[in-house]
Amino acid sequence: MTKEIILIIIVVIWTLPWKGFALWKSARKGDSVWFVFLLLINTLAILEILYIFIFSERKVSKKTLPK
């Protein structure tokens, strides 16, 4: 039983910082859909890492307003 507890502790230590940073980054960018997905789905930090390094770096084209 102690091996399972140790494994759970390791998984929590690995996942929690990634999840926290990804949630913070999605909230700051206003990505509410991503925020909900990251909050509800646990993928052992795979989705969080993909969001941080790939999906959050997308450039959104903004039209410039005429002066």
Could you report the per-residue pLDDT of 6-43, keeping only the tens digit for each? Answer: 999 999 999 999 999 999 999 999 999 999 999 999 89
What pLDDT score was predicted for residue 24? 96
| Per-residue confidence band for 64, with pLDDT thresholds at 50, 70 and 90 | low
Distance CA 57, CA 26 (A): 11
Distance CA 57, CA 51 (A): 8
